[in-house]
């Protein structure tokens, strides 16, 4: 017994002594252990841990039942799914060419648990195939990424932008930004552009082109800047570096045309009658059925047939000064009647060759105080410029975009910011 007690004392005393060295408390050190807790992985609102996903495309004349039968889903389940899905997205709306995903157990049975159908690039519907049968809709989170392209035009704006890797719709969006100020059918070889814009991604896949934030279109050696700005909490509009709106009272042209086949003239030989008479309009040659838009806000005051050769035509009164006329139309847009209020850019009709015409075209005319004027020589005043008191806020927003499209803030504009005690910061900060 004494030998056992002596052994215990000899073992414990050195341990206590070592713990009291340097005045430290006698606490035994423990190794810190950090456990990494696995986080569940979700997709389409479904936990897909230990699940297999099979992707596919809806084939021609392929029904949901044809797809699900391949994965062992019973006819009874499909029946109840059809009955219960009407409140979200009916399975009968499934279309050819759309993508789908089957979520299955990762085991030897591989039971199909969910069927996911992509309504579009961001919206989807999930159908539960086991336990309680139900369905629900969802939307993928969308990330916004800024992008920049620039280039020189050799054949067309569309070709030039595609060569720089832009999406096809970006060319149309740029044309819309400048639709009041640049005639894109008059652009020349070696004109150039720079565009700073947004792209939208869902599930790491590009789903859409976002807003153009800033642009510069150089034509005829002149710069045309555009900066997107939300003014007074309204929708985004485009202004130049001086705060002048790119939007005008009238669009530059009422349609997308192939060429101008005849200009404003006081003495023109008519192509059909060969009689010399005034032609107080501009003929835009375009394929039959090409949409025609109102160049400005106004009211339709005439919708009729012109027995003198104009065929189907519309006349729109925009204000106390200006009236426009659209002739040789193949037909009128739905809802367009005498007395209809129309907005700038609203569809009003379609190019045709009614009346006396050698081929499909639009005869477009503008009247100022009742007198015909040349539409191609109109001075189109801007509307809604940035007010002086709002210029500092405007410049503070767009100054970061200016260097993106090759513009250094002029001293005259810089002084506006300085006078407002606002410093210009780098947009990359």
pLDDT, tens digit, 9 for 90 and up, residues 286-311? 999 999 999 999 999 999 999 888 89
Give the residue from 139, 164, 186 where a domain finishes. 139
Lowest-pLDDT choice from 88-97, 109-118, 130-139, 373-382: 373-382
> Counting runs of H as helices and runs of E as strands, what totals does the chain give?
7, 24
Summarize the confidence of residues 144-165 as an average pLDDT: 92
The structure's pTM equals 0.60
CATH number at residue 354: 2.70.70.10
Based on the fold, state whether residues 179 and 273 are members of the same structural domain.
no
Based on the fold, state whether residues 317 and 280 are members of the same structural domain.
yes
**What is the C-alpha separation between 90 and 84, in angstroms, rounded?**
8
Q: Is 425 contained in some domain?
A: no
Based on the fold, state whether residues 234 and 281 are members of the same structural domain.
no
Residue 102: which of 141, 67, 50 has the closest Cα?
67
The pLDDT score that the predictor gives to residue 198 is 95
Q: Is 397 contained in some domain?
A: no
Based on the fold, state whether residues 272 and 368 are members of the same structural domain.
yes
Q: pLDDT tens for residues 167-178?
A: 889 998 998 888
Q: If DSSP codes are grouped into helix, strand and coil, which group holds residue 306?
A: strand
The pLDDT score that the predictor gives to residue 11 is 47
Based on the fold, state whether residues 210 and 284 are members of the same structural domain.
no
Is residue 67 over pLDDT 80?
yes
15 membership: H or E segment, kind and range:
helix 2-20
**What is the C-alpha separation between 271 and 287, in angstroms, rounded?**
18
Based on the fold, state whether residues 368 and 263 are members of the same structural domain.
yes
The pLDDT score that the predictor gives to residue 83 is 82
Give the residue from 111, 139, 167 where a domain finishes. 139
Q: pLDDT tens for residues 409-424?
A: 767 677 776 666 544 4
DSSP 286: -
**DSSP assignments along 320-341, one per residue:** SSEEEEEEEEEEE-TT--TT-E
Is residue 254 over pLDDT 50?
yes
Q: Is 210 contained in some domain?
A: yes
**What is the C-alpha separation between 251 and 178, in angstroms, rounded?**
10
Is residue 354 over pLDDT 90?
yes
And the tokens for 148?
A: 């920049």
Residue 164: which of 208, 202, 197, 213 has the closest Cα?
197
Residue 389: what are its φ and ψ, rounded to 5°?
Answer: -70, -15
Residue 209 vs residues 170, 216, 319, 388, 428: alpha-carbon distances, Å: 7, 18, 36, 33, 22
Based on the fold, state whether residues 227 and 266 are members of the same structural domain.
no
**What is the C-alpha separation between 71 and 67, in angstroms, rounded?**
7
What is the domain extent for residue 341? 259-377
How many domains, in total, are found in the chain? 3
The pLDDT score that the predictor gives to residue 35 is 57
Q: Is 382 contained in some domain?
A: no
Q: Is 113 contained in some domain?
A: yes
The beta-strand segments (E) located in 25-111 are 42-43, 46-47, 51-57, 99-105
CATH number at residue 100: 3.10.450.350
266 membership: H or E segment, kind and range:
strand 265-269
Q: Is 29 contained in some domain?
A: no
Residue 7: what are its φ and ψ, rounded to 5°?
Answer: -65, -40
Helix axes 411-419, 391-402, angle to 10 degrees: 130
And the tokens for 81?
A: 């799914």
| Tokens 């086949």 belong to residue | 261
Summarize the confidence of residues 110-131 as an average pLDDT: 90
Contact 332, 291 (CB under 8 A): no
Rounded to a whole number of angstroms, the CA Rg of the chain reads: 34
When the pLDDT of each residue in the chain is averaged and rounded to a whole number, the result is: 83
Q: Is 204 contained in some domain?
A: yes
Q: Is 31 contained in some domain?
A: no
Contact 372, 398 (CB under 8 A): no
The CB-based long-range contact list for 3-7 (8 Å cut-off, 24+ gap) reads none
Give the residue from 91, 110, 139 where a domain finishes. 139
Based on the fold, state whether residues 359 and 292 are members of the same structural domain.
yes
DSSP 133: -
If one counts every other C-beta atom within 10 angstroms of the C-beta of residue 279, the result is 20
Lowest-pLDDT choice from 182-196, 269-283, 355-369: 269-283
If one counts every other C-beta atom within 10 angstroms of the C-beta of residue 375, the result is 22
């Amino acid at each position: 017994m004494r030998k056992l007690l002596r052994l215990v004392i000899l073992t414990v005393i050195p341990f206590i002594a070592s713990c009291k060295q340097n005045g430290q408390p006698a606490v035994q050190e423990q190794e810190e252990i950090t456990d990494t807790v696995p986080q569940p992985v979700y997709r389409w609102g479904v936990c897909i841990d230990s699940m297999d996903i099979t992707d596919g495309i809806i084939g021609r004349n392929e029904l949901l039942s044809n797809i699900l039968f391949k994965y062992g889903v019973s006819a009874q389940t499909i029946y109840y799914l059809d009955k219960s899905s009407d409140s979200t997205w009916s399975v009968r709306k499934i279309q050819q060419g759309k993508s789908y995903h089957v979520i299955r157990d990762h085991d030897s049975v591989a039971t199909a648990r969910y069927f996911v159908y992509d309504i579009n690039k961001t919206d989807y519907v999930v159908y539960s195939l086991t336990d309680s049968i139900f369905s629900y809709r969802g939307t993928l989170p969308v990330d916004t990424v800024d992008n920049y392209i620039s280039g020189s035009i050799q054949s067309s704006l569309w070709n030039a932008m595609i060569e720089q890797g832009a999406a096809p719709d970006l060319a149309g969006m740029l044309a819309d930004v400048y639709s009041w100020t640049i005639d894109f059918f008059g652009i020349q070889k070696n004109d150039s552009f720079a565009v700073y814009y947004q792209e939208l991604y869902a599930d790491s896949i590009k789903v859409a082109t976002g807003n153009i934030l800033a642009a510069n279109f150089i034509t005829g050696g002149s710069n045309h800047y555009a900066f997107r700005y939300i003014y007074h909490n309204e929708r985004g509009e485009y202004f130049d570096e001086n705060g002048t709106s790119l939007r005008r009272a009238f669009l530059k042209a009422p349609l997308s045309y192939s060429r101008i086949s005849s200009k404003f003239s006081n003495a023109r030989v008519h192509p059909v009658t060969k009689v010399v008479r005034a032609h107080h309009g501009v003929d835009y040659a375009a394929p039959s059925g090409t949409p025609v838009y109102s160049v400005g806000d106004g009211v339709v005051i005439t919708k009729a047939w012109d027995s003198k050769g104009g065929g189907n035509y519309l006349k729109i009164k925009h204000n106390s000064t200006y009236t426009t006329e659209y002739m040789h139309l193949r037909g009128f847009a739905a809802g367009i009647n005498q007395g209809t209020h129309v907005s700038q850019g609203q569809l009003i009709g379609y190019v045709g060759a009614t009346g006396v015409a050698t081929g499909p075209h639009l005869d477009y005319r503008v009247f100022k105080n009742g007198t015909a004027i040349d539409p191609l020589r109109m001075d189109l005043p801007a509307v809604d410029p940035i007010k002086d008191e709002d210029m500092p806020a405007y410049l503070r927003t767009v100054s970061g975009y200016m260097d993106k499209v090759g513009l250094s803030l002029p001293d005259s504009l810089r002084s506006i910011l300085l006078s407002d005690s606002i410093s210009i910061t780098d947009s990359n900060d």
